[in-house]
Structure 1
Amino acid sequence: MQATIKGDSSAIWQSILWGRETLRLGTHWQVGDGTNISIFSDHWIPRSFRPITIVPEAVTSLKVSGVIQRSNFWDWEKLRMHLWEVDVQAIMEIPLSYNYR
């Protein structure tokens, strides 16, 4: 899903990529264990495209699994260290599956 439109792209290819972008804006990840989801670059919070960090030097490679406790609850303190409260509240509403821990 990383292809781009080039200068000589056909109208069909351009339409496919436009449709891909529209699809991407309307979807989000299902969290699961969070190991494949980047907190800052993937669309995983239902109400927003990407969370906004409050720490400029925040690690952009941080995965969602890094903010899930072993007891399979969200780690409130870690979330609040890196994200705005509005994003933390939205994340806390995402249910976690008990099948992964």
Structure 2
Amino acid sequence: MNWSVYIILCSDDSLYTGITTDVPRRFTQHANRQGAKYFRGRHPKQLLYVEHNHNRSSASRRESMIKKLSRMEKWQLIQSGATQPASDSEKLPQDGEKNDF
């Protein structure tokens, strides 16, 4: 299975990092406050970064590495533009836009 590592900008301007096999589905789950407890007090605003083509193990390792980065280092990673959503189906709505997933 093809796993992805992603970073989401949250309503409190924090950065959330996670892994999934389906980024749009997982973003919708976060928006609906299903799954990660992190989103019980905040909501996702924007998908900022995605790395594709991981297996479960490499995705977990990469997630752990990213979570250990400082906020500044995470922003540098995001701004590097190394990887972006691969398809239009992964372009998620911005804050205030309708989510049709």
TM-score clears 0.5: no
Greater length-normalized contact order (CA 8 Å, ≥ 6 residues apart): 2
What's the TM-score, normalizing by structure 1? Answer: 0.29
What's the TM-score, normalizing by structure 2? Answer: 0.29
Please identify which structure carries the higher strand content.
2
- Please tell me whether Structure 1 or Structure 2 has the larger radius of gyration of its CA atoms: 1
